[in-house]
Amino acid sequence: MTTHVTLEDALSNVDLLEELPLPDQQPCIEPPPSSIMYQANFDTNFEDRNAFVTGIARYIEQATVHSSMNEMLEEGHEYAVMLYTWRSCSRAIPQDSRHFQNMSKTEKLQKTDIQVFVLTVVIYLSEAV
């Protein structure tokens, strides 16, 4: 009197058990899944230094100095770009050899510097617009 159950019937019975509702009268306390987005911003230039008061004023002072050094570094980068542009323009100025042979070295430098200055101002103004 043993009944023979095939593997397919057994698997279908297991699948039916998964769909069987088992009410236990308990509320579902598990929240739906949600993602947390976190993005660190280290480019604050130490503006939040006053929030980290630890009783030792030297840390705030160091953060202030770092902030001013970062500002000076940015200003230095601007001057470096300007100097590099100046250098590039000075090499691009064509030299009239006949005209420059009759001039003294000081006159040559003054004329070249004026030409380079005018070119640099033109480039700077065109970038500003």
The residues near 64 (Cβ < 8 Å, ≥ 6 apart) are: 46, 49
pLDDT in tens, 92-116: 555 566 666 666 666 666 666 666 6
pLDDT of residue 77: 85
Over 60: is that where the pLDDT of 17 sits? yes
> How confident is the model over 21-49, as a mean pLDDT?
78
Q: Is the pLDDT of residue 122 over 80?
A: no
Quote the pLDDT of residue 8.
92
Q: Specify the pLDDT at position 35.
A: 85
pLDDT of residue 115: 66
For residue range 40-93, list pLDDT tens digits in order.
777 777 777 677 666 666 777 888 888 888 888 888 888 888 777 766 666 655
Q: With beta carbons less than 8 A apart as the criterion, state whether 36 and 56 touch.
A: no
